[in-house]
Amino acid sequence: MADLLSTGVSGLLASQIGLSTVSHNVANVNTDGYSRQLVQFNARPAQALGNFYVGTGVNTAAVQRAYSQYLNTALWTAASDQGRAAAYQSLTAQLNNQLSGSTNLQTSLDAFYGALGDVANTPSDASSRGVLLARANALSSTFQSLSSQFNQLGAQVQRQLGDTVNSINSDSQSIAKLNDQIRTAYASGKGEPSDLLDQRDALVKKISSEVGVTVVPQNDHTVSVFVGNGQALVNGANSYALSTAPNAYDPSKLEVVAKDSGMVLTGQIGGGTLGALLDFRSNVLDPAQNQLGRAAVAMASAFNAQHAQGMDLNGAMGGTFFNVGAPQVLGNAANQGSGTVSASITNVGALTTKDYVLKYDGSAWSLSDTAGNSVAMTGTGTSADPFKADGLSFVVGGAASAGDSFRIQPTSAAAAGFNTAITDPNKIAAAAPLVAAKGSGNTGSGAVGGISVTDPSNAGLLGSANIVFTSPTTYTINGGAAQTYTPGQPISANGWSLNLSGAPAANDSFTVKANSNARGDNANALNLGKVANLGVLDSGNTSVGRAYGQLTSQVGSAGSLAKDALTTQNSVYQQALQTQQGVSGVNIDEEAASLVRYQQAYQASAQVISTANQIFSALLSAVHG
C-alpha cells in the first residue's frame, strides 16, 4: 500500500503544481510581456516485480515559459522600427503644421507684392508707401517667426534626446540587474526563472523601441546589449551609460556619446526613438532651416539689387531694402591653432542648402559637405583671391594647425536675421533714376530702347550725358573721345547702360539725365514687382516663391512618407506581436481547459490516496481482527 500511497501523493503534488501554474497564467493574462508557463512531467522509474514493471508515479520536471527566441527577436526589431516611425511621424507633422499655419510665407509674399502693386499705381501716395512698409515688416516677421519655430522644434528635439538617453540608461541598468539575478537563479539549479526572464525580455523590447540594439545571448543565461557599431549598453551584470555632449562646432546642438569614452555615436544610431530624433534633425529640420534661409537670401538679394537701381522721393538712389542674416562660421572646439575663417555669399544662384566643413591638413585647405563628400574649391583663400565654392567665398587668416576645421552654415541664420532696413516711406525707390531722350533734330531711325543702372554706386550716375553720333558707327559722350557703336550693343557710361533701336545717323544725339519727376514715376516699382517671379536660385531657375514651395513640398513629402511608414510599421509590429503571442500569450480558453484537467487529476489522485488508505485500514483490521 506504501507504493500506491506514494504514487497517489506524487500525482496529487503534480496536479497541485499544475493548478498553481494555470492560476498564475490566468492572473497574468493582462501583464505586458508575460509568457504563459507550462509544467513538464516525467514518469518516475518503474519498480520491477517479477517479470514486469509497475509504475511508481510522476515527477514534476520543470515549469517553463512558452518561448521562441526567434519570435521575440522579430518582435524587438518590429518595436524598434515602430518606435522610430512613430517619433519621426510626430516630428514631421509638427514641422508641416508650422509651414502651413498662420505664418505661411507665401501668404506674406503675396500681401507684400500686392502692396507693391499699389505703390506702382500711385507712386507718390504716402499711405500706399506706408502700407508697403507694413507689409515688408510683416514679411520680415514671417521669416523670423518660421525660423524661431524651427529653432523651438530643434530645442524640443534636444530635450527629447536627453530624456530618451536617460530612459535608455535606466533600462540598461535594470537589464544588468536582471542578468545578475537570472544567472544566480540558474546557478542554484532550481530550474528556469521564467518571471525574471519575462521581465528582462520586456525591458529589451522597451529599449529596442528607444534605440536600435543588437541582443546577444550568453552561455551563462545573461544577454549582452549593443548599440551602434558595437558600443555595449549591457554586458553581464554591468551596464554602460550613454550621454549627451555639445557638438564640436555648435554647443547648442547635442550629440549622443558613450559616457565613459566620450566617443560620438550619433552617426551610428539608426533605430528607435533616438534614431528618429537624430535622423529628423539632420535630414529634415536642418535642411528645412537652410532652405528657408536660402529663400530669405534670395528675396533680400534680388529685391535689394533692383531697389538699388531706383530713385526715392528724396532724389537719392535706393539703398538696401532688406537685411538678411550672414553665413555662420563655427570653429571646432578641438582646434589648436589661431586660424580664422570668414564666409560670404557671392553667387546666390549657386547657393545650396548644405552646410560645409573647411579643414586644414597642415599644408592645404579642403572643403567637404557635412555628409563627407568633397567639394571642389578655386582660389587661394586670401582676401584678394578667396576660396570659392557653391556660391560662397572663404577668406582664411591667422595660423591654423594641422587638423583644425571650421563648419560653414551659409543660410541657417539668414531667415532669423531677415528684417526691413528702411523705416521712411519716402525712401522706397519706386522711380527710375534716369531718363533718356533722342534729340529733336535727329534724322536717323534710332530710338531709345531702354536705360538701366549697372552700378548704383558710380559717382557720375546722376550726371547729365550728351551722346552725339559723329557717324552711324561712332559717337562721343559729352564731347569726349570717339567710341565705336555696334548696332544691338548697349552704350555704357557712369554706371548706366543705354539700349538703342533702329539706326542712328550722323549728327543724331541722345541725352541721359537724372529723373526730375521721381515723385510721379513708377518704373522701378514695376521692376520691383517682377522680382516675385524672377529666377534667383538654382542658376536663375527658381524664384523666392518657388523656393518656399520646394520647402513645403520637401517637408510635406517627408511627412507623407513618415505617415505611410508608421502605418506600415504598426502593421508589422502587430503581426509580430500576434505571432509571438500565439506561442507565448495566455489563452483563457486553453487555461480553463487545463484548469479542469488538473482539477480532475487532483481529485483522481486524492481518490487514489483514499483508496490506498482504505485498503491499508482493511488490511490492519484483518491482521488484528
What is the arithmetic mean of pLDDT over 288-295? 94
| Domain annotation covers residue 323 | no
Q: Tell me the whole-structure pTM to 2 decimals.
A: 0.87
| Domain annotation covers residue 273 | yes
DSSP assignment of 131-194, as one string? HHHHHHHHHHHHHHHHHHHHHHHHHHHHHHHHHHHHHHHHHHHHHHHHHHHHHHHHHTTS---H
- 129 plus 196 within the same structural domain: yes
- 89 plus 50 within the same structural domain: no
The pLDDT of residue 400: 95
- 465 plus 568 within the same structural domain: no
| Domain annotation covers residue 272 | yes
Residue range 78-118, pLDDT digits in tens: 999 999 999 999 999 999 988 877 668 889 999 999 999 99
| Domain annotation covers residue 487 | yes
| Domain annotation covers residue 319 | no
- 606 plus 573 within the same structural domain: no
Residue range 547-587, pLDDT digits in tens: 888 888 889 899 999 999 999 999 999 999 999 999 999 99
- The cell for 213 is 540594439
- 108 plus 203 within the same structural domain: yes
Residue range 192-231, pLDDT digits in tens: 999 999 999 999 999 999 999 999 999 999 999 999 888 9
| Domain annotation covers residue 122 | yes
- 24 plus 86 within the same structural domain: no
DSSP assignment of 383-435, as one string? SSS-EEETTEEEEEES-PPTT-EEEEESSTTTTTT-EE----GGG---B-SEE
- 99 plus 45 within the same structural domain: no
Residue range 590-617, pLDDT digits in tens: 989 999 999 998 898 889 888 888 887 7
Q: How confident is the model at residue 1 (pLDDT cuts 50, 70, 90)?
A: very low
* Domain end point (choices 466, 490, 514): 514
Closest to 35 measured CA to CA, from 586, 591, 578, 582: 586
- 185 plus 256 within the same structural domain: yes
User: Domain limits at 475?
Assistant: 434-514
* Domain end point (choices 514, 541, 562): 514
Q: What is the number of domains present in the chain?
A: 3
- 163 plus 222 within the same structural domain: yes
- Give me the helix-helix angle, 126-187 and 286-307, nearest 10°: 160
Residue range 224-281, pLDDT digits in tens: 999 988 899 999 999 999 999 999 999 989 999 999 999 999 989 989 999 999 999 9
- 268 plus 173 within the same structural domain: yes
- 593 plus 616 within the same structural domain: yes
CA angle 579, 581, 586 (to 5 degrees): 150
* Domain end point (choices 514, 540, 569): 514
- 181 plus 252 within the same structural domain: yes
| Domain annotation covers residue 28 | yes
| Domain annotation covers residue 163 | yes
Would you give the distance in Å from CA 162 to the centre of its chain? Answer: 16
Which parts of 177-252 are beta strand (E)? Answer: 213-217, 223-227, 231-235, 238-239, 242-246
